[in-house]
Amino acid sequence: MTLATTNHLPLPSNSTKTILQPLSNNRTKTQVQCSKPNIMITIPNIISNLLHIGTARNPFPENLFIQARHNQTTPAASPKENISSLQAELHGKSNWSNLLNPLHPWLRCELIKFGELAQGAYDGFDYNPFSEYHGSALYNKDRFFEKLGLTSSGYNITNYIYAMSNIELPQWIERSLHANTWSKDSNWMGFVAVSDDTESRRIGCRDIVVAWRGTVATTEWFENVHLKLESIKIGDEEGKAKVEHGFLSIYKSKSETTRYNKSSASEQAITEIKRLVANYRSKGEQVRLTVTGHSLGGALALLNGHEAASTIADLPVSVITFAGPRVGNDAFGDELRKLNVKVLRVVVKQDVVPKLPGVLLNEGLEKLEGIIGELQWVYEHVGMELSLDVKSSPYLKHHELDLAGFHGLETYLHLVDGYVSEEDEFRKNARRDVALVNKYGGMLREELKVPESWYQLEHKGMVLNAYGRWVMRHREPEDIPSPDCL
C-alpha cells in the first residue's frame, strides 16, 4: 500500500485516493470472487471498515452554505483569554484529566496554537527541487513568523534545527537539483521558540517550544524504518528502553564533514533549551518546555522530550503530537513515565500513520506478556490520546479513501477546532478557516468551492527579470542559510 505525499505538497495524479462508490446490493466496484459460491469480498469495504470510512456520500446540509459565507466575514480565531489559572493542568500535570472529554475550550485553543507552530515548519520549508536552497527554511528566524502570518502566536524563534541521517531513509532527505546547493546532507528540521512577555503572562509561565517538521513521507518510508528497535542511552548507560532506529538516526546523526550537522539535531535542540532555561530561571521565572510535531516530527518530539527531561532537572516537559507514529517499546514508555514527561497524542481514526510501526507487534500484545515473557521488541504508544473522526465534520469528504488527506495536519487542526466530546456533534461555532484544509490536499467537499492544493509558491519560484526573462527567484541575503547561525 502506498501513502501518497502527505500533507505537504499537492497530491500527484496517481496519489492514494480511492472513491468508494456503492453499487447495487450494497457492493462496491472492486470485488474478489471467492471459490465458495455466493460469497463476495469487497476490498474497499474491508479497508473502509478498518479505517472507519463510510462508502456512502454524506449529504451536505444547506445551512452550512450560509454558515460558510458568514464565516468569511468573521475572525478566524477565538479571542485570546488569560489561562494562567489552569497553566499546570493545560500542560498535562494531571494528564489532562477532565479536560479531554469534553474538550476544554482553553485546551482546544492551545492545541491549535501548537499545531499551527508545527504547520509553520511545513509552510516555511523550501520544497522547490530547482532551488539551490531546497531543503532549507524559506526565511531567517527573525522574520519567519512574520512571513507566515504567525506573529499572533506570541512566540519568537531563537534557533533553527538541522538534521541528517547516517542510514539510508528513502524519501526523507530533500536534496536540491542545483549544482551549488546550500547543503548536500542536511535538511532544516524545525525551530526552538520562546513565549514573549505578553504570552507568558497570559499562559502563566515562560514557555519554550520546540516544533519539529515532519517529512514528505510515503508508506514505504515507514515500512523501511520499522524493522529495528535500537537501545537508547540514558546518560552513558544503555537500558532496556529501545526506539525505532530510523527516528533515532535522524535525531542523533552528525558528521564533521557537514556544514550544518557538525552537531546533531539532538545537540542543537538541547543546547538551546538549556540556554533558555538558564536565562529565564536566572530572572526568577517559572519555565516549562512544550515539544510538538506532526508525523515524523511527532516521533522526534517524543525523543526530544525524553532527552530534555533526563538532562535538565525539574523542568516540566509536555509533548503534544499530531499523527505521531509509535516510537519505542514498553521500557521506553516506562522511562517517559518515570521522567514525568506528559504526552498527549492527537490522532485521526482514519489515519494509518499512528498505527505504524508495529501494526502487529504493538501494545495489544501486553495481555500475552505473562505467557511469552517481557516484550522488549514490541512497539507501544505512550501517553493520553485525543481521538478524532473525519466523519464528525460535515465539511469533509467521507466517502473517499484519501490517506494523504486523513494524515494532513490541516485536517487534524480542523477536527480539533470542531471537536466537543465523543458524544457531541461538530461544534457549530468553530472559527478556524475551513479553507485551510485544502491547503495541500482536497479533503473539503466540492460544494464549498475551495480549490485543492491552493497553497502554491507563485510561479513555482520563477520571476521576470529586468531583461524580460523568467529566472529562478534569488533569495534576500538575510534569508540565505548559514551555518554561522548555529
What tens digit of pLDDT does each residue of 348-357 get? 999 999 998 8
Choosing from 136, 153, 231, 295, the catalytic residue is 295
Query: Is there a contact between 254 and 385 (Cβ–Cβ < 8 Å)?
Result: no
Catalytic site includes residue 407? yes
Distance, CA of 188 to CA of 126 (rounded, Å): 9
In this prediction, residues 147-174 reach a mean pLDDT of 84
| DSSP letter, residue 103 | B
The mean per-residue pLDDT over the stretch 88-96 comes to 97
Query: Cell for 32?
Result: 474478489
pTM recorded for the entire structure: 0.85
Cis ω before 357 (30° cut-off from 0): yes
**For the segment 368-404, what is each residue's pLDDT rounded down to a tens digit?**
444 444 455 688 999 999 999 999 999 999 878 899 9
- The vertex-459 CA angle with 153 and 260, nearest 5°, equals 55
| Max mean pLDDT range (33-37, 54-58, 404-408) | 404-408
Q: Which of 126, 185, 207, 351 is catalytic?
A: 351
Between 185 and 309, residue with greater pLDDT: 309
Q: Kindly report the number of other CB atoms within 10 A of residue 292's CB atom.
A: 30
Catalytic residue among 306, 381, 407, 414: 407
Kindly tell me if the per-residue pLDDT of 126 is higher than 90. Answer: yes
- Catalytic site includes residue 389: no
Cis geometry, peptide bond prior to residue 61 (ω within 30 degrees of 0): no
Phi, psi values for residue 380, rounded to 5°:
-145, 135
Residue 345 has pLDDT above 60, yes or no: yes
All three cell numbers of 51: 479505517
CB count, 10 Å around CB of 278? 11
| Beta carbons within 8 Å of 336's beta carbon, 6+ residues apart | 302, 305, 306, 309, 343, 382, 383
Element (H, E) at 211: strand 206-212
pLDDT digits (tens, 9 = 90+) for 413-427: 999 999 999 999 999
Question: What pLDDT, on a 0 to 100 scale, did the predictor assign at position 57?
Answer: 52
CB atoms within 10 A of CB 469: 9
Give the ranges where 91-218 is alpha helix by DSSP (H).
Answer: 105-123, 144-148, 197-203
Specify whether 176 is catalytic. Answer: no
Helix, strand, or coil (residue 416): helix
Residue 342 has pLDDT above 70, yes or no: yes
